[in-house]
Amino acid sequence: MPTLGTRIADWLDEPVPLLRLEIVRIAAPLAVLGFMSSRLAHADEWIGQAGFRVPDLGGDWRQPLFVPALPDWLAWTLAGVMVASGLACAAGYKARPSAAIFAATLAFVALSDRLAAFTVSKLSPVVMLAVALGPAGSILGIDAWRRGGTGERPPAMQPIGSVRFLQLLPVVIYSASGIAKARGDWLHHPLVLWSHLHDSYQTPIAFALASMLPGWLWTVFQALVLAFEMLAPLWFGWSRTRPYALVFGLGMHAMIGLMFGPVVWFALLMMTVLLAGHTPERLVVKWSRPFAA
Binders in 238-277 for another protein, by CB under 8 A = 261-262
Pick one of 29, 48, 86, 125: the residue that binds another protein (CB under 8 A). Answer: 125
Q: Which helix (H) or strand (E) holds 17?
A: strand 16-17
Distance CA 163, CA 226 (A): 26
Residue closer to another protein by CB (options 58, 149) is 58
Over its C-alpha atoms, the chain yields an Rg (Å, rounded) of 21
Using the contact rule CB under 8 A, the part of the chain among 20-28, 70-78, 87-95, 203-211 near another protein is 203-211
Contact of 109 with 83, CB cutoff 8 Å: no
Nearer to another protein, 84 or 210 (CB): 210
List the interface residues with another protein, window 64-103 (CB under 8 A). 64-65
Q: Report the C-alpha gap between 23 and 12 in whole angstroms.
A: 19
Q: Does 12 bind another protein (CB under 8 A)?
A: yes
DSSP run (H or E) holding 287 = helix 281-288
Q: Counting Cβ atoms within 10 Å, is residue 73 exposed (0-12), middle (13-18) or buried (19+)?
A: exposed
Tell me: does residue 234 bind another protein (CB under 8 A). Answer: no
Q: Residues 265, 31: contact at Cβ < 8 Å?
A: yes
Nearer to another protein, 8 or 247 (CB): 8
Rounded to a whole number of angstroms, the minimum distance from the CB of residue 50 to another protein is 10
Residues 21-50 that bind another protein (CB under 8 A): 38-39, 41-42, 45-46
Element (H, E) at 198: none
Determine the angle formed by the axes of helices 204-212 and 242-259, rounding to 10 degrees: 110
Secondary structure (3-state) at 202: strand
What's the rounded Cα separation, in Å, for the pair 271 and 267? 6
Residue 93 DSSP symbol: S
Among 8, 220, 234, 293, binds another protein (CB under 8 A): 8
Closer to another protein by CB, 198 or 289: give it: 198
Size of the site for another protein (CB under 8 A): 71
| Cβ atoms of residues 116 and 46 within 8 Å | yes
CB of 92 to another protein, least distance (A): 23
Residue ranges in 171-200 that form contacts with another protein under rule CB under 8 A: 172-173, 175-177, 179-181, 183-186, 189, 191-192, 194-196, 198-200
Q: Which residues pair with 202 in a beta bridge?
A: 260
Judged by CB under 8 A, which stretch of 74-82, 91-99, 109-117, 245-253 contacts another protein?
A: 109-117
Note whether 220 binds another protein by CB under 8 A. Answer: no
Beta carbon nearer to another protein, 53 or 147: 53
Tell the smallest beta-carbon distance from residue 233 to another protein (Å).
10
